[in-house]
Structure 1
Amino acid sequence: MELAEKQKVFADEYLIDLNATRAYKVAYPRVKKDEVAAVNGSKLLRNTKVAAYIAERMQERQKRTEVTQDRVVRELAAIAFARATDYAEVIGGAVHIKDTSELDDEQVRAIAGIKEGANGIEIKLNDKEKALELLGRHLGMWNDKLDVKGVEGVVIVDDIPKTDNTG
């Protein structure tokens, strides 16, 4: 699969941050307007050869780094489904922090930090709500786009009987 030099530059730049507009402007420096770069970058992403090159390079990176969708989802799930009781328990009215050697790998992954503060040991967990949001997006549970298809106009029906006010 042979790409033109500028297509290869575009694809390699795109792989840095997945920003087609920026990548297009690097590959084609004469283009100054973001709108033009966005449209043409989008067209290049649909080019069969460019898309195949990007997919192949992403696959190589995935193998090399061992960062896969499954691994990311597992990490998010560890954060999203962590419970406070995994890390501390209340015994006789006192809070007891669990020994970290008792935690499994999944529980450890949910920890953002542990420090000794003014009031004792503090355990901070990663953002559970954000992890749930990202998992929901991955699963297609949220639709942030307003779908206005099939919306009809309002029809006002005047069905109030007329009365005779002469009486």
Structure 2
Amino acid sequence: MRLVALTEKQKRFCDEYLIDLNATQAAIRAGYSEKTARQTATENLSKPYIREYIDKRLAEKDAELIADQDEVLKYLTSVMRREKNEHIVVTTSEEKTTYVPDETGKVRRQTVKKEVPQIVEIPAKLSDANKAAELLGKAHGLYTEKIETDVDMELNIKIDYGDSNEN
């Protein structure tokens, strides 16, 4: 289909529609009258060239979100080489002791324990690297088994057409 040039308002409508997929609100935000926004939105969405523009933009968004083959292979390679680090949360305990006088004048010890979470970076596990290497090997066809067998047999085929009168 030949792409028809959209007007600025139609393009703005399409771009606004892609934000939340609410056609009426997109029409209002694009500058159409609030009174006729619903009808205008319906008309716009029924026009093939506007629908085509929206579908094209949605496909572009999907392409950005979904990893392609190269991205997957690069990621697996970086895991195999242990270039990727894992982030784990480690909780450490801190104790703070203070001495405070009570109402009788005696000094009492007051201990406050506090747990502090920290994010720590550690190298990827060896098992993850091994799994990545295995997946890369499969992707490159390194583990395909080739089995050759010699078969020596006699083949007899009997065809029964069912028209014999054996009763």
Asked if TM exceeds 0.5, the reply is: no
| Higher radius of gyration, 1 or 2 | 2
Normalised-by-shorter TM-score class: 0.3 to 0.5
Bigger fraction of residues in helix: 1
Bigger fraction of residues in strand: 2
TM-score by length of 2: 0.36
